[in-house]
Each structure stands twice: as C-alpha cells, then as structure tokens.
Chains A and B, each alone.
Chain A
Amino acid sequence: MSAAPVLTGPLTATGVPIELRDLSAAYGERVILQDLTLSIAAGERVALVGASGGGKTTLLRALAGLTSTQGTLRIGTGAPVRTRVMFQEDRLLPWLGALDNVALGLPRPDRFRAARALRDVGLAGRERAYPHELSGGQRQRVALARALAHRPDLLLLDEPFGALDALTRADMHALLDTLLTDTGATTLLITHDLEEALKLTDRVLLLADGQIREDLTVALPHPRRRTDVEDLRAHLERLLH
C-alpha cells in the first residue's frame, strides 16, 4: 500500500502530538490550571475557548515554554519541536522591514521562505515596508507569515485577530483557513470568538476554572460559512453562560 500523500511545499510541516497529564499551574496562591489532562493528535486544529481568566493563555504559554507548570507536558515524540507563537499583538520589530521581520530567526539557507510566506499572506511588494507603514491587518499578516515561514510543528495562536475590525477579521479568517489547510502543523487557537473557533478548527475545547468543561468535535468540511456552525455556536454559548 502506498504512503499517504505528503505536502512538500516550502511552508508545510509535520505536526506533533501533545500529551498533557495532570498539568497544573499557579501564579502565587491563585490556581490557573488544575490537573488538566488532554491529548491532541499530530496535525490537529484545536481551539481553546472560555471566559477570561479561565487559563487559556497560561496553557498556551506553557506549551510555548514560557510558563513553568507541574505535571506531565509532552510535545512531540522526542525529536526537537519547532513551536512558534502568533500573539494578539503583532510583536514586529519596528526597526526591521516586513521581510526582515518574517526572516527573523530563520537559518540563512531558509531565508527564501520569508519572501514566500509574505507572498502567501498577500503582502508581495511590501517587503521593505516598516511596521508603522502598515495597517493593523497588514501587520498581523506579517506576524502570521513570520510564524508560518518557520514551518512550525506546533503553531500557537493567541487571540491573533482580537484587535482587528470585523471586516479585516473576516479576511484574516479566510486567509488563515487556507494556510492552515496547506500546513500540517498541530494548531492551537485561543479565541473569545466562538464562530472563529468553529470555522477555523476541528475541535473546540471549553476551558473553565483551569479544567476542560467541553470537548467538541467539528466534523464539517472547510471552508465553513457562518450558517454551517450556527447550531454548534448556540450550544457552546449555552455552556458558557
């Protein structure tokens, strides 16, 4: 039997599985995550939703290695894992042009991927533009290109479109949906927007008081329209309130 087709384009990557067992985190006295157990398959697209203070960002930071935790946190199968984060703020270096921002941290032989990633996010021709010369949406596109140019095994998206207006947000949803389909990275999206979670990912986790309250599989073909996910959104909203 022949092997499954593998995407070999410059921006594709192999996703990694994630295994959390009894994971806990606290800031001083305040418990943020409590005995969290969760398995995410390689290449899976997962959204984390829930009220503020529920532990979403702490979990993402733990996966990025930015927060210390107790318990078991296993990413991948032993080989080095490329984890990249797209933050709520673009976090672009103001003194670098768009292309140099995307190429940040890329080894010299892989720099070609920066131009390709910028083109993929629709910013061909703006390679030399400084962040202050770009709109908010364009800056988030550069940040997305930077994350994808690294061919991450694990892509962490921390409310990446939270600061954008509704129209730009809809554009970014379409763009991200396509790019995530092209890349094989395991993806974790944190969002307050239930529709965003249901349109872009295949599994939605509702996090409350440091624990997973709901694990919802979204078995619908991409791209999804608003009407496709209406019922699921209503279900999640009922759980949230």
Chain B
Amino acid sequence: MTVGARSRERARPEVQAAGTPSRRPGRAWQGEWIRWLVPLLVVLGWQLAASTGLLNPRVLPAPSAVITAAWELARSGELGRHFLISLQRAGLGILIGGGLGFTFGILTGTFRAANLLLDTTFQMIRTIPNLALIPLVILWFGIGESGKVFLIALATFFPVYLNTLHGVTGIDPRLTEMARVYGLSPLDTFRRVTLPGALPGVLVGVRYALGISWLALVVSESFGASSGIGFLAMDAREFFRTDVIVLAIVIYALIGKAADALVRTLERRLLPWQVSA
C-alpha cells in the first residue's frame, strides 16, 4: 500500500560540513594543494636563509642538511630502529591507556554507581601533570620500558575516558526510551544504541590520545632512555647535531599528521551516518 506517497516529499539535501567552503566541480585539486602551500614556502624560505648564510647552522641547519642526516641515519638502520621502538612504546601505551579509558568511560557513563565511585578519583588524577610523576615513575618502574609505557598509558587514558563518558551520557534519552518500548534487552540497547551513539565521542578521544601520546613519548624518552626518537634528539644535543634534533622534531610532526589522518579515515569508515563526516 502506497497511499499518499507523493513526489512532493523529497529527501533533504545533505547539510554541508561546517567550515568547509563549497567547491566548484573539477577544481577540487586546488583546495587540496593549498594546504601544503604554507609549509612549502616556509621550507623554501628556510633553505634560502641557510644557503645565503643568514641562518647560523649551529642554531638552525638547512633543510637539505636535515634531509642528509635523515638519509645517513636511515642507511645505517639507526633511524628505523629508533622509530620502531618509539612506535612500539606509543602503540602499547595507547592500547593500554585507551583501552582502559574506553572501558571505564563506558562503565561510569552507563552505571551511576560506577560514576559515583570512580569519576571524582579519575578527575583528580587527571589534573596531575605528567612531568610531576617522573620521579615517582622512576622509583616504581626504574628506567626501563615499563615506566615509559606507563606514562603514555596514563596520558592517553584521560582523553579517551572523558570523551567516552561524554559520548555515553550525551545519548538522547528518548532513543533509549524508544529501545525499551521496542523490546530491546539491556544488552541489545547497549549494542544497538549506547555503543554506536557514543562512538563519535570515543573517536574524538582517540584523536586527542594519539596527539598526546607523542607528547608523553617525548617526556618518557627524555630520561634514562637508550633508544627511541626522543633519545636520538637528546643524544644529538650532546654532540651539537642540530640537524638530527630538527629531524626528530620533523618526525614527530609527520607522525602526528599521520595519526590524525588515521583517525579521520576511521571516522569516515565507522560513522558514515554522520552528516558532517
């Protein structure tokens, strides 16, 4: 039966993402290139200033010198080794911190008793700066891997925890009421309503966590480390190798950008229903 199904009802045009100006068909490539224009101009200006002697290489080496240092370190296998160790530390820290943040965020968001019991404690721990914990972490874990992973896990726990908690509590209560009326069990309501409803928040948390994990990595590799990108930079400082120090900074920037792109891809895949996705 299709009574009343008339053509006057048309699908609402998709709302454009806020802050994304409209593009003319066939000229989209210009928008993509323009993102890289400023970094490219900065590098060119930097190279020019270094080549003409305006910049002291002891203060800031030329981009070409940084590329040469990267090539030499890559050829010797040193860069790959340090990079992989840093990646491993960050990955493990995010996995533990993010996993616990997600689990506790769901628990405190779903169960009032868990919220009353845990949230105040978490909020108090959240305000402690990571750097203040270093002496205690060294005492607890020594200067091995555990302390470094602990610091990264602690730093990544909070963004995932807070955003998961807000994701769960921000779900429209009318939807959970609807689920109840339509006979969904509490487990089904969690699976079909709570979890997908909280997912945008969780992914915002993951994005913050990825960003902050590199910050925690720099902190953790600045004490008692004998490997990792942070160690590479600290070691280079001893020998006035500004080219390697800048290389480490560039690697951090590139990894940060790659992590952001990874989360954006995840968002596109997992949240196809979001108008602005």
**Which residues on A are within 8 Å of B, measured CB to CB?**
64, 66, 82-85, 87, 89, 91, 93-96, 104-105, 119-124, 129-138, 146, 150, 167-168, 170-175, 177-179, 182
- Residues of A within 8 Å of B193, CB to CB, are 93
A122 touches B273 (CB 8 A): no
Stretch from B107-115, B175-183, B217-225 forming part of the interface with A: B175-183
Interface 1/0s, chain B 1-21, versus A by CB < 8 A?
Answer: 111111011111011000000
**Are A105 and B184 neighbours in the complex by a CB distance under 8 Å?**
yes
| List of A residues within 8 angstroms of B8 by Cβ | 167-168
The total of Cβ contacts below 8 Å across the A-B interface reads 98
| Chain B contact residue count (CB 8 A cutoff) | 34
Q: Which residue of A has the minimal Cβ distance to B15?
A: A132
Given A91-B178, A104-B192, decide whether A135 and B12 contact each other with a Cβ distance below 8 A.
Answer: yes
With A84-B181, A104-B182, A150-B182 already in contact, the answer to whether A134 and B12 are too (CB < 8 A) is yes
Q: Do residues B197 and A89 form an inter-chain contact, with CB atoms below 8 A?
A: no
Contact call B12/A132, Cβ cutoff below 8 A: yes
A211 to B272, CA, bound (A): 48
Task: Let me know if A174 and B4 touch, CB within 8 A.
Answer: yes
- A93 CA to B192 CA, complexed, in Å: 9
Whether A91 and B174, one on each chain, are in contact in the complex, defined by CB atoms closer than 8 angstroms, is yes
User: Assuming A64-B181, A93-B196, A95-B196, is B12 touching A122 (CB within 8 A)?
Assistant: no
CB distance from A95 to the nearest CB of B (A): 4
User: Complex Cα distance A167/B9, Å?
Assistant: 10
In the assembled complex, the Cα of A134 lies from the Cα of B8 at a distance in Å of 13
**B275 within 8 Å of A (CB atoms):** yes
Q: Which of B4, B182, B197 has the most chain A CB atoms inside 10 A of its CB?
A: B4
**What would 30 A/B residue contacts be, using CB atoms closer than 8 Å?**
A66-B180, A66-B181, A84-B182, A85-B181, A89-B174, A91-B174, A91-B175, A93-B197, A105-B179, A105-B188, A120-B1, A129-B11, A130-B273, A132-B12, A132-B15, A132-B273, A133-B12, A135-B9, A135-B10, A135-B12, A136-B12, A138-B9, A150-B182, A150-B183, A168-B9, A171-B6, A175-B5, A177-B3, A178-B3, A179-B1
Known: A89-B174, A167-B8. 15 other contacts (CB 8 A): A84-B182, A91-B178, A93-B192, A95-B196, A96-B192, A105-B188, A133-B12, A137-B9, A138-B11, A168-B9, A171-B4, A174-B4, A175-B4, A177-B3, A178-B1
Q: In the assembly, what is the distance between CA of A96 and CA of B191, in Å?
A: 12
User: By the criterion CB–CB under 8 Å, are A132 and B2 in contact?
Assistant: no
* The 10 A-B residue pairs with the shortest CB-CB distance in the complex, in nearest-first order: A122-B5, A171-B4, A105-B182, A122-B2, A91-B178, A175-B4, A95-B196, A174-B4, A95-B273, A105-B183
Task: Return A163 CB to nearest CB of chain B, in Å.
Answer: 14
CB contacts (< 8 Å) of B199 on chain A: these are: 95
With A and B bound together, what is the CA distance between A134 and B14 in angstroms?
Answer: 10
How far, in angstroms, from A135 to B3 measured CA to CA in the complex?
17
The listed residue (B10, B174, B180, B273) touching A94 by CB distance below 8 A is B273
Q: Which of A133, A135, A172 contacts B14 (CB 8 A)?
A: A133
Q: Tell me how far the C-beta of B127 lies from the nearest C-beta in chain A, rounded to whole angstroms.
A: 34
Determine if A134 and B11 form an interchain contact, defined as CB atoms under 8 angstroms apart. yes
A168 and chain B: residue at smallest CB distance: B9
Which residues in A have their C-beta under 8 angstroms from that of B192? 93, 96, 104
Query: In the complex, what residue of chain B is closest to A137 when comparing beta carbons?
Result: B9
Contact B1 A133 (CB under 8 A): no
The answer for the CA separation of A130 and B277 in the assembled complex, in Å, is 13
| Residues of A contacting B272 in the complex (Cβ-Cβ under 8 angstroms) | 130
Residues of A within 8 A of B6 (CB): 171
Are A87 and B3 interface neighbours, CB within 8 A? no
**How far does the Cβ of A237 sit from chain B's closest Cβ, in whole Å?**
26
Residues in chain B near residue A146, CB distance under 8 A:
182
Contact B12 A182 (CB under 8 A): no
Q: Which residues of B contact A105 (CB under 8 A)?
A: 179, 182-184, 188
Say whether A93 contacts B175, CB under 8 Å: yes
Give the interface centre of B1, B6, B275 by most chain A CB atoms within 10 Å: B1
Q: Is the CB–CB distance between B12 and A104 below 8 Å?
A: no
Q: Which of B3, B14, B180, B274 contacts A122 (CB 8 A)?
A: B3
A95 lies within 8 A of B181 (CB): no
Q: For residue A139, give the distance in angstroms from its CB to the closest CB of chain B.
A: 9
Look across to chain A and name the residue whose beta carbon is closest to the beta carbon of B183. Answer: A105
List residues of B (252-276) whose CB comes within 8 Å of A's CBs: 271-275
Contact A122 B4 (CB under 8 A): yes
**Minimum distance in angstroms from B17 CB to a CB of chain A:** 13
In the complex, are the beta carbons of A171 and B1 less than 8 A apart?
Answer: no
Tell me the complex Cα distance, A77–B269, Å.
49
Give the chain B neighbours of A131 by CB distance below 8 A.
273
> Which of chain B's residues has its CB closest to A100's CB?
B192
Q: Which of B163-207 contact A (CB under 8 A)?
A: 174-175, 177-184, 188, 192-193, 196-197, 199
